[in-house]
Structure 1
Amino acid sequence: MNQKNERSRKRIVTDTVETLDADGAGETLPGTVSESRKPAKKVPTRFSLSLPPSYAEIVATTAEVKELNVTDTFRRALAIMHAIDEEEAKGNRIVSVETDGISTRLVFV
Structure 2
Amino acid sequence: MKTLLESHKYALDGPELFLRNWPKGTSLDPRLLTRLGVVAVEHLGAGAFAFRLEGRHLAGPAVFFLVLHLLGQGVELEVGEEARRELRAFLTLPPVALKRVLAPRSSLP
TM-score tier (shorter): under 0.3
Bigger fraction of residues in strand:
2
TM-score, normalised relative to structure 1: 0.25
Q: Higher RCO, 1 or 2 (CA under 8 Å, sep at least 6)? A: 2
TM-score, normalised relative to structure 2: 0.25
